[in-house]
């Protein structure tokens, strides 16, 4: 007896088997037209009536069909009448059914790939072949269909005490607020005004990840690949970015060779035209890097999220920016979960937030759905006074990894000439106010901010209190 006959027989005689394997079976796994139609009929019956059919009910349902050719109808009736049942070992049956699904999935994927290569597919391109093959190779019967709160308590306790795999920062306060770094399967976003340092921050973090031995993919939708690599060069080689042009070749090569010996990590920078690519294109890029370069990133940076397109929605008159950016964020987070990586990106402040020294989630540009979707979001804040001190203030806006009210604000040092962030002395954090009035944008709140900033700047500059000069 062929495995197809055994599968169909057990689908109408063994309900536990049917419920176990039916979610993984597809009608295109059956080559014989008669078996394909019969499987579809069984599948439809179970879906509609929540129970397995008998031979009699199948014959009745088949007799209702009017669009089946006469010869195929005769074959179906004969096939059903000849079905017999012989009890098989359940483990053997499920293992062989899984093997059947895997073999048929790979065969169908290969045939579909050949069709695409020969140009016979109207809706798929060659770039989708790696995904088609990967999906086929990933077919398996997954036993996990939910967490049983009482029965799985021990497993849950082990999870609580298991050290989660994270991608650490080289900045102490970021590690503190994220409990050791960015977890995998997450979407993380920096928000700031134009020119504050979003790209600088991501380039620094990408460089630090590579130096720490991680594989990094940096996708740029705004700047050229060479400009991003230039910033990473400046950071890692300790050369001011404006001195790279005309820098001696021999010294540059020596520094690169020393860098190669210091780390096993890799950094790949890929440029795409603005507003032309989305999660599907990034998925194909990841698959291509895996196949062609054996490169699997530990973390992905996307510069930046508002320049991505949605794979589900077409931007136009019927789609507003709220829904569109929401779709983009959801798709990128889905990609992070699928590929088991953290994704880091950035977004802009809106007009109100751009002039606000204490921005909040409501100051996100284009779509408030973005902060609702991400796992971690923090603002980069710069003022003229902070620029003089060589610092940027970080404000937590959303944090699923820890308590966002702890260390809500802190500062990091910035060396813009070398595109680098660094830890500052602990004394620089002592004057940061974690708790501020709710009425920040009221007259009282503005006065409060002005007074606090004055006190902070007075202490930082080592000067006497000169607030009276502004009150006179």
pLDDT digits over 403-460, tens only?
888 899 999 999 999 999 999 988 778 766 554 444 444 554 555 555 555 555 555 5
In a domain, 146, yes or no: no
Contact 218, 303 (CB under 8 A): yes
CA–CA gap between residue 291 and residue 65 (Å, rounded): 47
Q: 325 and 194, same structural domain?
A: yes
The last residue of a domain, from among 96, 116, 137: 137
pLDDT of residue 439: 41
Beta-bridge mates of residue 394: 380, 410
Cα four-point dihedral sign 101, 102, 103, 104: positive
Token digits of residue 80: 């059903």
The answer to whether residue 158 sits within a structural domain is no
Specify whether the CB–CB gap between 28 and 36 falls below 8 A: yes
User: Do 396 and 465 have their domain in common?
Assistant: no
Answer whether residue 231 is part of any domain.
yes
Identify whether residues 410 and 448 lie together within a single domain.
Answer: no
Give the largest CA-CA distance in the chain: 103
What whole-number distance in Å separates Cα of residue 197 and Cα of residue 326?
A: 24
Query: What one-character-per-residue DSSP string does 322-385 give?
Result: HHHHHHHHHHHHHHHHHHT-EEEEEEEB-HHHHT-SS--GGGBSS-THHHHH-SEEEEEE--HH
Residues 121 and 179 in one domain: no
Residues 101, 228 within the same domain: no
Burial 115-133, CB ≥16 within 10 A → b, else e: ebeeeeeeeeeeebbbbbb
Same domain, 97 and 44: yes
Closest CA relative to residue 330, chosen from 300, 302, 307, 310: 310
Distance between CA atoms of residues 52 and 11, nearest Å: 7
Give every CB contact of residue 137 below 8 A, 6+ residues apart in sequence: 105, 106
Query: Is 250 within a domain?
Result: yes
Query: Considering the chain, what percentage of its residues have pLDDT values greater than 90?
Result: 54
What is the structure's pLDDT at 464? Answer: 43
Contacts of 380 (CB under 8 A, 6+ apart): 190, 191, 192, 196, 197, 198, 201, 392, 393, 394
In Å, how far from its chain's centre is CA 70? 51
Full-model pTM: 0.66
Residues 265 and 284 in one domain: yes
Residues 455, 418, single domain; the answer is: no
Residues of the chain predicted below pLDDT 50: 435-441, 444, 463-472
Same domain flag for 429 and 446? no
Do 344 and 454 fall into the same domain? no
For 390, which DSSP code? T
Q: Which two tokens stand for residue 302?
A: 């996307």
Say if residue 265 is in the same domain as residue 411.
yes
Number of separate domains in the chain: 3
- Give the end of a domain, one of 137, 157, 188: 137
User: Burial code of 337-349, b = ≥16 C-beta within 10 A, e = fewer?
Assistant: eebebbbbbbbbb
Do both 373 and 388 map to the same domain? Answer: yes
pLDDT 10s digits, 307-343: 999 988 877 657 888 889 999 999 999 999 999 999 9
> Range of 207's domain?
166-435
- Among residues 38, 19, 142, 40, the alpha carbon closest in space to that of 90 is found at 19
What is the pLDDT at residue 427? Answer: 78
CA 12 to CA 56: how far, in whole Å? 11
Residue 68 confidence (pLDDT): 86
């Amino acid at each position: 007896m062929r495995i197809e006959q055994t599968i169909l027989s057990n689908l109408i005689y063994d309900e536990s088997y049917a419920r176990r394997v039916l979610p993984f079976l597809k009608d295109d796994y059956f080559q014989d037209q008669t078996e394909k139609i019969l499987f579809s009929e069984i599948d439809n019956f179970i879906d509609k009536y929540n129970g397995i059919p008998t031979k009699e009910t199948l014959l009745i349902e088949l007799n209702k069909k009017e669009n089946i050719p006469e010869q195929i109808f005769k074959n179906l009736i004969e096939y059903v009448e000849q079905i017999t049942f012989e009890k098989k070992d359940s483990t053997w049956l499920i293992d062989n059914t899984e093997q059947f699904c895997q073999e048929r999935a790979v065969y169908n994927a290969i045939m579909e790939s050949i069709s695409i290569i020969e140009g016979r597919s109207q809706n798929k391109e060659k770039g989708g072949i790696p995904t088609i093959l990967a999906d086929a190779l990933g077919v398996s019967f997954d036993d996990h269909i939910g967490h049983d709160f009482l029965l799985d308590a021990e497993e849950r306790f082990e999870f609580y005490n298991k050290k989660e795999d994270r991608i650490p920062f080289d900045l102490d306060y970021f590690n503190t607020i994220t409990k050791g770094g960015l977890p995998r399967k997450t979407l993380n976003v920096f928000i700031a005004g134009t020119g504050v340092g979003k790209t600088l921050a991501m380039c620094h973090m990408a460089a630090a990840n590579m130096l720490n031995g991680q594989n990094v993919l940096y996708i740029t939708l705004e700047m050229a690949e060479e400009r991003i690599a230039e910033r990473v060069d400046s950071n890692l080689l300790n050369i001011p970015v404006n001195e790279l042009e005309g820098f001696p070749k021999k010294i540059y090569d020596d520094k690169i060779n020393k860098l190669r010996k210091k780390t096993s990590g890799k950094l790949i920078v890929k440029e795409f035209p603005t507003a032309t690519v989305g999660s599907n294109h990034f998925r194909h890029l990841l698959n291509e890097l895996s196949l062609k370069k054996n490169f699997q990133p530990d973390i992905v940076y996307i510069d930046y999220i508002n320049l991505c397109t949605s794979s589900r929605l077409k931007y136009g008159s019927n789609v507003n920016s709220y829904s569109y950016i929401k779709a983009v964020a959801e798709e990128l987070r889905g990609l992070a979960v699928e590929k088991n990586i953290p994704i880091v990106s950035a977004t802009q402040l809106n007009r109100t937030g751009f002039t606000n020294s204490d921005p909040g989630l409501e100051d996100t540009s284009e779509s408030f759905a973005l902060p609702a979707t991400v796992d971690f979001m923090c603002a980069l804040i710069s003022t003229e006074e902070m620029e003089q001190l060589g610092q940027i203030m970080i404000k937590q806006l959303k944090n699923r990894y820890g308590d966002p009210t702890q260390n809500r604000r802190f500062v990091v040092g910035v060396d813009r000439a070398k595109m680098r962030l660094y830890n500052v002395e602990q004394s620089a954090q002592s004057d940061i106010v974690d708790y501020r009035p709710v009425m920040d944008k009221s007259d009282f709140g503005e006065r409060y901010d002005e007074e606090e900033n004055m006190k902070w700047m007075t202490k930082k500059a080592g000067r006497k209190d000169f607030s009276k000069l502004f009150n006179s």
